[in-house]
A and B are shown apart, each in its own frame.
Chain A
Amino acid sequence: MSNIPSDYRYTKTHEWVRDEGDGVVAVGVSDHAQELLGDLVFVELPEVGAELSAGEDCAVVESVKAASDVYCPVAGEVVEINEALVDAPETINSDPYDAGWMFKLKVADQSEVEGLMDASAYTEHCENEEH
């Protein structure tokens, strides 16, 4: 079973969201997602300043196997991106929830974050997908 931190929120498409305070959240992809993708070799990040809507495809992660879109979990403005991933995409494989964060958003509507799945709902979601 993959690792699912209890204090993060999750989407059905396997992004995670972590509260950074001051209305800012960090976004990445879950351990389950990186495991399914296999060794990552390329990451394309959104631009700082981009206004994203919830569900918009805003980044790409490519593994040795396939390219996969990353969908923005909640609406907001990109305030920071993790440039280190461009040279070391494998960081997402080794540390998906911390060093593997992809971008930070200034959230437009905090209630959207509350509406995402919590760890137990996401655990159930992953289990259902495997069957």
Chain B
Amino acid sequence: MGADKKTVLNAVHREMGARMVPFGGWDMPVHYGSQIDEHHAVRRDAGMFDVCHMTVVDLHGERVRDFLRYLLANDVNKLQTPGRALYSCMLNPEGGVIDDLITYYLADDHFRMVINAGTTEKDIAWLREQAPAFGVRVEPRFDLGMIAVQGPNAREKAGPLLPEGLREAAAALKPFHAATDGEWFVGRTGYTGEDGYEIVLPEAQTEALWRALAQAGVRPCGLGARDTLRLEAGMNLYGQDMDETVSPLAAGLAWTVAMNDERDFIGRSALEAQKAAGGIPRFVGVLLEGRGVLRGHQKLFDGEREVGEITSGGFSPTLERSIGFARIAADAGEALTVEIRGKQLPLRVVKLPFVRHGKAQIEI
């Protein structure tokens, strides 16, 4: 895949010593020297990520809430005060995941979504196919930049750099809430398992904020650290842990599917059929007991029987062990092995997440 698309921060990354790699058609920083040091900076202090490649989509219309209740597997009726955010999957009629995203309730006729970079085109096409029936206008905001500032000291370091009119509201934000001031938008959300902000702002002001954050001691971090942080935090990655052929029920995302009431949403009947049929694969955290590194698509065995595969794997800098997610048969046991370069190595099935707020959640 080519990497012709560049975020507004591309030149700044190069200036700051980034190694650039192609990612979903974008030319993005993978690290600025050491991925492991960047990972630790986020766990212990503060780091920042260029997430301008992700897409903000504004949805306008009187019936936007009804639209989203039909479109998403999670129920936006959980959002009752403006500024609240909800994580959800957007499903196809077969119950596969088109994308996972965050939706913010801004006003009764205005919701905002943040969608993945690699899925942007198909997501917008899907939204535009479904929206007219509800009179909803779909407005992708390619004019906005986005920086994620994450870590125990992230909010303290980023706070003073926000526009004056936003500082107080941002400081008062509870987790999974957002505040706005003009085109600036600050959510207390993230993809690392640490506290922090995701800041949306006009593209023209993005570089100045990035530089100011660096001045304030926030470490630039690449996609490499972003991946190990989200893996430790037990957060799924679209395209690896689930895609259009995978049910959220088989991707550890049953908690995001609201189907206790009668609400009709796209994919519901397929999920009901899966539940009725039973045998839905389990999605689990796994820890490699010995040396080696887990990677996506490595096969898992329960004795002689192949029971599934690793969906995401890598090295956990916090635990100094290899960790991963795996999708395994519903009736697989707990004593599994993984095949790495022809050898069977013992794995431990563990409860997710591996790490939260800087602390290991499992015993090594």
Is A48 part of the binding interface, using a Cβ–Cβ cutoff of 8 Å? no
Is the Cβ of A38 less than 8 Å from the Cβ of B30? Answer: yes
Is the Cβ of A64 less than 8 Å from the Cβ of B292? Answer: no
Is the Cβ of B293 less than 8 Å from the Cβ of A62? Answer: yes
Contact with B along A34-48 (1 / 0, CB 8 A): 010011011010000
Contact with A along B210-225 (1 / 0, CB 8 A): 0000000000000010
Is B228 part of the binding interface, using a Cβ–Cβ cutoff of 8 Å? yes
Given contacts A42-B291, A42-B292, A67-B293, are A60 and B341 in contact (CB under 8 A)? Answer: yes
Is the Cβ of A38 less than 8 Å from the Cβ of B315? Answer: no
B35: which A residues are within 8 A, CB to CB?
A: 38-39, 64-65
Contact with A along B304-330 (1 / 0, CB 8 A): 000000000011010000100000000
Is B34 part of the binding interface, using a Cβ–Cβ cutoff of 8 Å? yes
Is A86 part of the binding interface, using a Cβ–Cβ cutoff of 8 Å? yes
A42: which B residues are within 8 A, CB to CB?
A: 291-293, 315, 322
From B19, B228, B341, A64 is in contact (CB under 8 Å) with B228
Contact with A along B273-293 (1 / 0, CB 8 A): 000000000000000000111
Is the Cβ of B34 less than 8 Å from the Cβ of A39? Answer: yes
With an 8 Å Cβ cutoff, the count of chain B residues facing the other chain is 17
Is the Cβ of A65 less than 8 Å from the Cβ of B30? Answer: yes
Interface size range on A against B:
10 to 19
Is B295 part of the binding interface, using a Cβ–Cβ cutoff of 8 Å? yes
Contact with A along B3-24 (1 / 0, CB 8 A): 0000000000000000100000
Distance in angstroms from A50 CB to nearest chain B CB is 16
Given contacts A62-B293, A67-B293, A86-B291, are A41 and B224 in contact (CB under 8 A)? Answer: no
Give the distance in Å from the alpha carbon of A67 to the alpha carbon of B315 in the complex.
11
Nearest B residue to A62, CB-CB: B293
From A35, A60, A64, A86, B315 is in contact (CB under 8 Å) with A64
Distance in angstroms from A111 CB to nearest chain B CB is 32
Given contacts A60-B341, A64-B228, A64-B315, are A38 and B293 in contact (CB under 8 A)? Answer: no
Distance in angstroms from B174 CB to nearest chain A CB is 33
B341: which A residues are within 8 A, CB to CB?
A: 44, 60
A-B contact pairs, 7 of them (CB 8 A): A35-B19, A38-B34, A39-B35, A44-B341, A64-B36, A64-B317, A66-B295
Q: A38-B31, A41-B293, A62-B315 are in contact. List 12 more A-B contacts (CB 8 A).
A: A35-B19, A38-B30, A41-B322, A42-B292, A42-B315, A60-B341, A64-B35, A64-B224, A64-B315, A65-B35, A66-B295, A86-B291
